[in-house]
Amino acid sequence: MATSCEAIQELLAEVLGETERLSDEERRHLELCPQCCEVAAAESALGLIFAKVLPPADPAMEDRVRVAVRTLRRRRRALALLPVAASLFVALLGAVMLGGLPGGSLLALLPVWSSQGWVSLAASVGDWNTVLTTSVGAATALFSPGVIVGAVLVSLLGLGVVAVTARRWRQISPWRHDG
Q: Output the pLDDT for position 127.
A: 78
- Residue 86 CA to its chain's centroid (Å): 21
Ramachandran quadrant class, 55 (left: phi over 0; alpha: psi -120 to 50; beta: rest):
beta
Provide φ and ψ at 174, rounded to 5°.
-70, -20
| Mean pLDDT of the 22-28 span | 86
- Cβ distance 126 to 108 under 8 Å? no
Alpha helix positions (H), the chain: 5-14, 24-32, 34-53, 59-98, 103-108, 115-142, 145-168
| Mean pLDDT of the 105-129 span | 60
pLDDT, greater one: 156 or 102: 156
Q: Output the pLDDT for position 3.
A: 56
Q: Output the pLDDT for position 116.
A: 58
Q: Tell me the C-alpha distance between 111 and 118, whole Å.
A: 9
Question: Can you give the residue ranges of every domain in the chain?
Answer: 5-53, 60-98+143-179
| Mean pLDDT of the 80-107 span | 68
Q: For 123-168, how does the pLDDT look when each residue is reduced to its tens digit (9 = 90+)?
A: 777 777 788 788 888 888 888 888 888 888 888 898 888 888 776 6
Q: Output the pLDDT for position 31.
A: 86
- Cβ distance 18 to 49 under 8 Å? no
Q: Output the pLDDT for position 84.
A: 82
Helix (H, G, I), strand (E, B) or coil at 1: coil
Angle at alpha carbon of residue 25, lines to 23 and 31, rounded to 5°:
105
Q: For 44-70, how does the pLDDT look when each residue is reduced to its tens digit (9 = 90+)?
A: 888 788 777 766 677 888 888 888 888
